[in-house]
Amino acid sequence: MSTHTPIGTPDVETTWLSDPIHRAFLLQDAQRQLDFFRPSLRADGAFDVLDWEGQPIAGAAQELHSTTRMVHSYVLGKALGRADADAMIDAGMAFLWNRHRDAEHGGYLWAVDDAGIKDGTKLAYGQVFVLLAASSAKLAGHPDADRLLADVSEVIDRHYWDEAPGLLRDEYTRDWQPFSTYRGMNANMHGVEAHLAAFEATGERLYLDRAGRILDFFITRMAAGNGWRVPEHYTDAWEVDPDYAGNPMFRPAGTTPGHSLELGRLTLQHWDLAGRPDDGAPERARHLVERALADAWTPEGGIVYTLDHGGAVAIPDRYWWPVSEAIGAIAALIKAQPAPGDEAWYRRLWTFADAAFIDHARGGWFPEIDPAGKPTGRQFQGKPDIYHSLQAALYPSLTGLSRHVEELAQQR
């Protein structure tokens, strides 16, 4: 464990969520992450991808999920009272509207660079992150949030939302030609996240209901019928496609335990926003989280990237984001319906993150560790984004499961 900052008291009777030393550690880590990524903003309003030292990586295109996550993250930073957050939010919002938005065909382009359009593919995964950014910006009172929120909501409604199953379609060419019959869990999971944010920002019930329909399919039906592991890949008839193997980063074969952890947290957030009905949601969330940790936590620490459909390890690589999501999921369970063992898991996860992923010298988190537990860069360029690790640092200390921006502002 790092000796730079205590991450909790030795008092086993005190939960780390309520421990002032741990809460100070969380805030310090969040601030250092925001410090590290702040210089990514260029004079022309674009964002550089940064290497481990915080220097720009030449030639890297700006991808839609990175722009949107930067907006969302610095909205959280603004709620913390950071004076430098507005410049990041303003730049990201302008870049989304002026560079990612396709003025000719509508929708939002996956990647752009100094020469123009690098990749015009229109993925549901990217569009829902635009919805998240617009919703977060609206909560922060940004003057351009409403137009972005209205535009991307119309895009999602027209092209992606499939009313009959209550799920999102996945991918189109720039001019809206479907180029595959692929359907996937990942875009839908982030669709839940974005729709919950949109509900919080607008109060419009449609967003909450759609998030609930997506969760019902993947959790109540798919996970419950598959040993509480969530199949990732589907046909256009929404039948599991067990043989699918696509992009090894975004669509690896098998199941992804990090996504189960993320879905567990989102299940609790939806349940909270829906008024905490007596519908078994906390129990379903716990099944997801406990199954993922039992399957994927390694003896030396860390969470493996993928499993086969029977739960055996497929890709043993250990990334920062599943640990981040495990922290958020366990914290949410502790706040909703704590159970024996939750506190031990919370401490274990943070102790490992502190030792293996947090860059105590420069700020931010290393994205990947090698088999010896040392930072490595086999899969990722530099430190790819702030989104997962910032939420790991901020969400546990909030007083509820949702309404993050308002709660952060109250704690300033």
Residue 134 is assigned to a structural domain of this protein: yes
Tell me what pLDDT residue 250 has: 84
**pLDDT at residue number 92:** 98
> CA-CA distance, 205 to 198, in Å (whole number)?
10
Instruction: Please report whether residue 131 resides in a domain.
Output: yes
Residue 376 belongs to some domain of the structure: yes
In a domain, 283, yes or no: yes
pTM over 0.75? The answer is: yes
Residues of the chain with pLDDT under 70: 1-5, 10-12, 398-412
**72, 259, 270, 287: which is the annotated catalytic residue?**
259
The verdict on whether 388 is a catalytic residue reads yes
CATH code for the domain in which residue 225 is found = 1.50.10.10
What is the span of the domain harbouring residue 198?
Answer: 16-411
Number of domains in the chain: 1
Answer whether residue 2 is part of any domain: no
Residue 397: per-residue pLDDT: 79
Considering the domain boundaries, does residue 36 fall inside one? yes
In a domain, residue 5? The reply is: no
| Structure tokens given for 143 | 């003057």
Q: C-alpha distances in angstroms, 81 versus 36, 197, 319, 386, 388? A: 17, 20, 30, 18, 20
* Annotated catalytic residue within 142, 195, 270, 388: 388
Residue 398 placed within a domain? yes
For residue 400, the model assigns a pLDDT of: 43
Helix, strand, coil share (%) of the chain residues, nearest 5: 50, 10, 35
Give the pLDDT score at 404: 58
Q: What is the pLDDT of residue 3?
A: 46
